[in-house]
Structure 1
Amino acid sequence: MKKILLLLSVLSLNQITAQTFTEPLPIPPTVTGTVFNLNVNESTYQFKPGNITNTYGVNADYLGPTLIVNAGDFITLNVINNLSVTTTMHWHGMHVPAVDDGGPHSVINPGETWSPDFEVKNKASVYWYHPHTMGLTNYQASMGAAGLIYVKDAEESALNLPRTYGVDDIPLVIQTKSFDANNQIQISSNMDNVSMVNGEISPYVDAPAQMVRFRALNASSSRTLNIGTDDNRTLYQISSDGGLLENPVPVTRILLSNGERAEFLVDLTGETVGNTFQFKSYMSEMPSNIEGGAGSAGHPNPLFGTDWSFMEVKVIAQTPSAITALPGTMTTLTPFLEGDASVTRPMELSSNAKINGVSMDMNVINEVIELGDTEIWTITNVTPIAHPFHIHDVQFYILDRDNGGGPVAPSATESGLKDTVLVQSGEIVRVIAKFEDYADPVIPYMYHCHNLIHEDNGMMGQFTVVDSSLATSEVLSESIRIYPNPSFDYVTIESSEANNFQNIDLFDISGKKIMTFLEGTKTLNISQLQSGLYFLKIKTSKGELVKKIIKS
């Protein structure tokens, strides 16, 4: 076994050291507007010489377009499933209603279209979309059904920052993969030894001799990245997952776990045209408990502890109206106050893919949160390996980290809004978030490890956000009657007082919306439904209510 691993290590290292960076970095096309049509397709892609590789793509053979949206816009995303299997589509980091979040309950069957619509409430930053299919997230995302989302807002637009897409504002979807002898992607392989950016193995990118902005996403299944350059030049981080940092933060390394994003500037002003440098992942500098570090726990990998380059930068001539200076103060961060938290919620990450001692069950709501509450989540990792922890619906602030020596405030690069945080072995991380705008007692949001292998193995839980105001829970419940219930074919909704029905949605027990009835409808035809339990969400002029019905 040791000889086999040694041989694999030598082969992998030979592959890394033999990089030639001959192919240009593909720049994903952009789509703008308020209506987006996303076709999820089965396709093929030429990653390596020889056999072509079976892939998934969104409006493309591999990966998808960058969606550019404006804060405050109401957008519609039509997701068309052209696959032969079910899928979903999650808007990672976006603050949206649970029904539009695209978790495992929002199943899109082959040939169907799912059309969530919502207001863009996030701050300017880079987010992403990917499937969240129960047990198949890693497979479908690894096959290529993923892409970036750029949110723009007035605050960011007023800053003197590079934003010419693909020229001085460069998207980086970074992944590592393993291929078999036929050049097919090996899912859930621990022997990933190929790095790629935007679907290209070891690409180069032309960057003008000025300030250049890179927007990086770690879209790998399980490997954490430790980004730097081969000449250790300064990177100025300007944004984390959910928005701008207060000031550019000078660093030489950016630790980026699965699902995390970071925007950073590289100052190429005055560089000689033709100069080159490489972006690397410095795995030898990472602790062994982090996936990819030297001697990583859990399983062997020929690249663990190895520093490898994933892209070359070639300096080209400066562009007209070039940005050549760093911005000053970019925003003012106003973290939620610890004293405003009404709940402290424990989250223990344990072995066998469990959170708080249980694995994911689609039929169990693990946590119920009150709309408007500010909560502290205490995330404790009792496993021997690090886990990137992601919470849907919200952007949070990190309060502190405790590796056993007492709580330590977050670094400057982690001082901004986050939706994913790496929790190392034995570490306790406290985060604070406010759950606002959206309540739904039926459809849950997710929280989970964003190591996609762990997620698919069940390291995930569900929470609902509820509004227990008097108008919704008591007055409406007493004034609305549904009969007959159970029913074989039709049910009637009746109100005892002036209470206009504005919208009625029907959900199955998994939380999937299956029917919407027109305004004013009072008699519902359920004859075509399978027998079982369903939920009616009734929106009226006086509030919103959820009622159970049984199809006999």
Structure 2
Amino acid sequence: MNSAQRPKRRWARWTALGTAAVLLAATGAFGIFYLQAQLDTVGKVDFATRMAIPPLAPSTTDADGTRRFDLAVQEGETRFLDGQATRTWGVNGTFLGPTIRAAKGEKVAFTVRNGVSEATSLHWHGMHLPADMDGGPHQTVEPGATWRPQWTISQQAATLWYHPHLHGKTANHVYRGVAGMFILDDERTAGLNLPDEYGVDDLPVIVQDRAFDGDNQFDETAPLLSTGGVFGDEILVNGTRGPFADVSTRLVRLRLLNASNARLYNFGFSDDRPFQLIGTDGGLLPKAWETTRLQLTPGERAEIVVAFAPGETVDLRSYPAGSDFNSRMNGAADRLDLVRFRAADSLRDGTEVPRNLGTAPDLAGAEIAQTRSFELNSRNINGARMDMNRIDFGVRVGSTEVWEVVNTNGYMHNFHVHDVQFQVLDVDGQAPPPHLSGWKDTVQLEPDRKHRLAMKFSDFTNPDVPYMYHCHLMLHEDEGMMGQFVVLREGEQVGKVSGHQHR
């Protein structure tokens, strides 16, 4: 939508006063809130700005083969709207960060400099790595300080991401703009004939919603009756408002990342064309799944391949994903135009979606060391809120566990586990749907449905430095919907958390 159409405040999108007056007389003020909770931007977005493609992060290589990246979290201003620029944060720039790319087997090292006025962190979401390199709430970086994590990439090709994970401030720091994609490659995937030219037929699509106040600054005020936090009425894709992307190939791979704080997206195209889901959080699926809709909650990723015809134009949208009261009050009933794709009159056609893609998760027949139960309700997990000094339990290295996770609220939660990718064994005793058939690290929890997740803990142990598990609606984790576990050697006992911040 253009600046003239954009409301100065989110509630300014209410319908005409005459309609509101009729509604008020019929159902009272509550009816007005219910009616106006639905946002519809279809046909109202100009698509006048070329979609930004985050640059690949530069690196240097040491004599021993270690790849070194320099990342600086910094403050700045970004112009999203006509008029005053918006105060933002970013990594090596004013909003968002570069795409980090590395391959399985590579040793990577980072210099992370904190150039903002508050302590922050960078968490490598979806990465298997030592706990003290994870970038969670125990690895904060003070203003002016530097953090130097390093590890060896030991997992298959996948689309991951990075973002702050400072307890109590994650939502705020991500909302200001600190986030970026982290792409992993491997030899097997490189040998497939998938679209893989970054920025041409392999596109990052980082989707975020934002609300702006009358001075064009980010507004983090949650709407009335919202249970998830802020829901913005403006959509940014790779930091671009109203983006278009020009297509030069028949097949295009989109790496979708829901980097919003709370909003669910139900992705589909304006003409309902089918697309191929080829990968989820932890990498490629065994086989592609054809669909017309795909839901992603905050933190989830998906790789899809869509086919275009010469000269056509089609929009990527988010469609309604629920119609009940809580869905409507938390953005799931919205219709949103996201990106316009414009195909050239002549398209190159040299790639394909192979019949066989990745390796199927293999934990269903594993020996299970322990089964644990997790109930998510309000801002609690198993009746408790996050305590930075409490380690909730320890798991044994080399063991496989099953975690039974249930959302007993009537509103949305999801569940993210650090360090591991898990296999969804079943949902309420039924085989998982196709989009949950691959490796995952974040999963939507439909209310009152038990999700059984199998995960193996390998390689890294530390009795004193925990990994996190939590709801990835960022307000929820900030308010305490998070717990901590450690990975232990045989015979080792749970230790005691100590400070790990970098000054």
Give the shorter-chain TM-score range.
Answer: 0.7 to 0.9
Distance 1:42 1:261 in 2: 27
2:500 to 494, 512, 517: 512
More strand by share: 1
Distance 1:465 1:208 in 2: 47
Distance 1:323 1:454 in 2: 45
Distance 1:359 1:175 in 2: 27
Which residue number in structure 1 is paired with residue 150 of structure 2?
117
2:329 to 285, 300, 309: 300
Distance 1:27 1:226 in 2: 22
1:317-356 correspondence runs (5 A) = 317-318=345-346, 322-351=349-378, 353-356=379-382
Is the CA contact 1:32–1:68 (under 8 Å) kept in the aligned structure 2? Answer: no
CA RMSD of aligned residues (A): 2.1
Residue 454, structure 1, aligned to residue 480, structure 2? no
Distance 2:371 2:355 in 1: 36
Which residue number in structure 2 is paired with residue 251 of structure 1?
291
Is the CA contact 1:508–1:514 (under 8 Å) kept in the aligned structure 2? Answer: no
**Shift of residue 327, structure 1, vs aligned partner:** 1.4
Is the CA contact 1:338–1:376 (under 8 Å) kept in the aligned structure 2? Answer: no
Distance 1:135 1:253 in 2: 33
Distance 1:132 1:125 in 2: 21
Distance 2:341 2:353 in 1: 20
Distance 1:357 1:158 in 2: 48
Which residue number in structure 1 is paired with residue 275 of structure 2?
235
2:233 to 193, 200, 225: 193
Change (3 A) 1:508 1:463: closer
Runs (4+) of structure 1 moved beyond 6 Å? none
Change (3 A) 1:7 1:378: closer
Distance 2:250 2:202 in 1: 11
Residue 161, structure 1, aligned to residue 194, structure 2? yes
Distance 1:361 1:78 in 2: 29
Distance 1:511 1:82 in 2: 21
Which residue number in structure 2 is paired with residue 79 of structure 1?
112
**Shift of residue 281, structure 1, vs aligned partner:** 0.5
Q: Output the amino acid matched with 2:325.
A: G
**Shift of residue 317, structure 1, vs aligned partner:** 4.6
Is the CA contact 1:188–1:453 (under 8 Å) kept in the aligned structure 2? Answer: no
SS at match of 2:141: coil
- Higher radius of gyration, 1 or 2: 1
SS at match of 2:420: coil
**Shift of residue 381, structure 1, vs aligned partner:** 1.0
Distance 1:318 1:82 in 2: 46
Distance 1:441 1:511 in 2: 14
**Shift of residue 306, structure 1, vs aligned partner:** 2.6
Is the CA contact 1:362–1:510 (under 8 Å) kept in the aligned structure 2? Answer: no
Change (3 A) 1:201 1:105: same
Q: Output the amino acid matched with 1:281.
A: S
**Shift of residue 8, structure 1, vs aligned partner:** 5.4
Distance 1:368 1:179 in 2: 43
Q: Output the amino acid matched with 1:21.
A: F
Is the CA contact 1:267–1:324 (under 8 Å) kept in the aligned structure 2? Answer: no
**Shift of residue 173, structure 1, vs aligned partner:** 0.3
Is the CA contact 1:360–1:461 (under 8 Å) kept in the aligned structure 2? Answer: yes
Distance 1:415 1:453 in 2: 28
Which residue number in structure 1 is paired with residue 175 of structure 2?
142
2:203 to 170, 180, 188: 170
SS at match of 1:342: strand
Which residue number in structure 2 is paired with residue 311 of structure 1?
339
Distance 2:502 2:476 in 1: 30
Distance 1:411 1:7 in 2: 33
Distance 1:448 1:278 in 2: 33
Is the CA contact 1:396–1:418 (under 8 Å) kept in the aligned structure 2? Answer: yes
Distance 2:425 2:332 in 1: 31
1:279 to 304, 310, 316: 316
Residue 410, structure 1, aligned to residue 432, structure 2? yes
Distance 2:418 2:497 in 1: 21
SS at match of 2:195: coil
Is the CA contact 2:266–2:318 (under 8 Å) kept in the aligned structure 1? Answer: yes
SS at match of 2:477: helix
SS at match of 1:442: coil
Q: Which has the higher contact order (CA 8 A, sep 6+)?
A: 2
SS at match of 1:362: coil
Change (3 A) 1:319 1:77: farther
1:481-500 correspondence runs (5 A) = none
1:363-442 correspondence runs (5 A) = 363-402=389-428, 407-442=429-464
Q: Output the amino acid matched with 2:471.
A: C
Is the CA contact 2:361–2:439 (under 8 Å) kept in the aligned structure 1? Answer: no
Distance 1:196 1:214 in 2: 16
* TM-score scaled by length of structure 2: 0.87
Which residue number in structure 2 is paired with residue 467 of structure 1?
489
Is the CA contact 1:161–1:323 (under 8 Å) kept in the aligned structure 2? Answer: no
* Per-residue CA distance 1:143-200 (angstroms, 9 max, x = gap): 1110000100011100001111111001000011111111111225334211110111
**Shift of residue 367, structure 1, vs aligned partner:** 1.6
SS at match of 1:64: coil
Q: Output the amino acid matched with 2:337.
A: S
**Shift of residue 17, structure 1, vs aligned partner:** 3.5
Distance 1:323 1:425 in 2: 44
Is the CA contact 2:317–2:335 (under 8 Å) kept in the aligned structure 1? Answer: yes
Distance 1:257 1:45 in 2: 26
**Shift of residue 387, structure 1, vs aligned partner:** 0.9
Q: Output the amino acid matched with 1:67.
A: I
* Per-residue CA distance 1:374-418 (angstroms, 9 max, x = gap): 00000011111121100001000000001xxxx111122211110
**Shift of residue 334, structure 1, vs aligned partner:** 3.8
**Shift of residue 354, structure 1, vs aligned partner:** 0.2
Change (3 A) 1:340 1:7: closer
Is the CA contact 2:266–2:295 (under 8 Å) kept in the aligned structure 1? Answer: yes
Distance 1:458 1:437 in 2: 29
Change (3 A) 1:445 1:509: closer
**Shift of residue 5, structure 1, vs aligned partner:** 3.7
Which residue number in structure 1 is paired with residue 306 of structure 2?
266
* TM-score scaled by length of structure 1: 0.80
Which residue number in structure 2 is paired with residue 220 of structure 1?
260
Structure 2: give runs of 5+ residues left out of the alignment.
Answer: 1-28, 60-66, 224-230
**Shift of residue 3, structure 1, vs aligned partner:** 7.6
Which residue number in structure 1 is paired with residue 93 of structure 2?
60
Count of residue pairs brought into register by the alignment: 460
* Per-residue CA distance 1:43-74 (angstroms, 9 max, x = gap): 11111112211110000110000001011000
Is the CA contact 2:421–2:440 (under 8 Å) kept in the aligned structure 1? Answer: yes
Residue 99, structure 1, aligned to residue 132, structure 2? yes
* Per-residue CA distance 1:465-492 (angstroms, 9 max, x = gap): 11135xx78xxxxxxxxxxxxxxxxxxx
Distance 2:209 2:195 in 1: 28
User: Percent identity between the aligned chains?
Assistant: 37
SS at match of 2:465: strand
Residue 132, structure 1, aligned to residue 199, structure 2? no
Is the CA contact 2:285–2:438 (under 8 Å) kept in the aligned structure 1? Answer: yes
